[in-house]
Amino acid sequence: DGGITQSPKYLFRKEGQNVTLSCEQNLNHDAMYWYRQDPGQGLRLIYYSQIVNDFQKGDIAEGYSVSREKKESFPLTVTSAQKNPTAFYLCASNSHPGEETQYFGPGTRLLVL
Amino acid sequence: AQSVSQHNHHVILSEAASLELGCNYSYGGTVNLFWYVQYPGQHLQLLLKYFSGDPLVKGIKGFEAEFIKSKFSFNLRKPSVQWSDTAEYFCAVIAFSGGYNKLIFGAGTRLAVHP
């Protein structure tokens, strides 16, 4: 089955802790994206990567970091600098940036203890 | 900056009622337009898209949308909704401006359909 997987489904973070959300795709897509979904605000772009070993900040990158060491993987780290991390995080990919449809993973809900 | 506005945050309908969800965007150049749907507990998935050609596009599950360039709009419609259409709907736009062309989402509309 081709698709995007995200793990874990739920993640709990303690104050001052960094946590990493996993995103894997087996669609052979070049571009990958991380979005944050908050009620009433739609999806906001955190980071994106158009090719391996390259990534760019989106609209709300502060307090987050990413890496793209492999084409199929784009993990997101929520650092202690992110003061309001409670949200639903969605990973997406497409074959190339721009006009192609983006395909979304099932999401990870992050909660702060 | 480009933006997408969805006018209704919550819509409540009875089954068999007609649906129209508004979407307006702010960008004067070439755009690609999308409607995504998120059913409870499921992935965000593509409902329909417009790239070029006939401005009236048909998507899955009986949905359609009309691109009206002069109004910067891409409203979603369905003649008769079903209980299973209960979901959150997101309008999204790619505005081509050179460099990276970002997908911009509206805030979403929560649709509740009562039997």
Tens-place pLDDT, residues B57-96 = 999 999 999 999 999 999 999 999 999 999 999 999 987 6
Which of A42, A48, A98 has its CB closest to that of B105? A42
Is the model's pLDDT at A65 over the cut of 70?
yes
Query: Among residues of chain B, what percentage have pLDDT more than 90?
Result: 76
Q: Are B76 and B91 in contact (CB under 8 A)?
A: yes
Q: How far is B113 from chain A (nearest CA, A)?
A: 19
What the block records as the tokens of B61 is 């599950």
* Residue A17 bridge partners (DSSP): none
Is the model's pLDDT at A100 over the cut of 80?
no
Is the model's pLDDT at A96 over the cut of 90?
no
Task: Calculate the dihedral angle through the C-alpha atoms of B49, B54, B59, B65, rounding to the nearest 10 degrees.
Answer: 80
Which of A42, A99, A107 has its CB closest to that of B94? A99
- Answer yes or no: do A97 and B101 touch at CB < 8 A: yes
CB proximity B60 to A under 8 Å: no
Q: What is the mean pLDDT of residues A31-43?
A: 91
Is the model's pLDDT at B4 over the cut of 80?
yes
What the block records as the tokens of A95 is 């074959």
Where does residue A44 rank: exposed (0-12), middle (13-18), buried (19+ CB within 10 A)?
Answer: middle
Q: How far is B52 from chain A (nearest CA, A)?
A: 11
Residues in chain A with CB shorter than 8 Å from the CB of B31 are: none
Is the model's pLDDT at A99 over the cut of 80?
no
User: What local confidence, expressed as pLDDT, does residue A2 receive?
Assistant: 66
Q: How far is B24 from chain A (nearest CA, A)?
A: 14
Is the model's pLDDT at A75 over the cut of 60?
yes
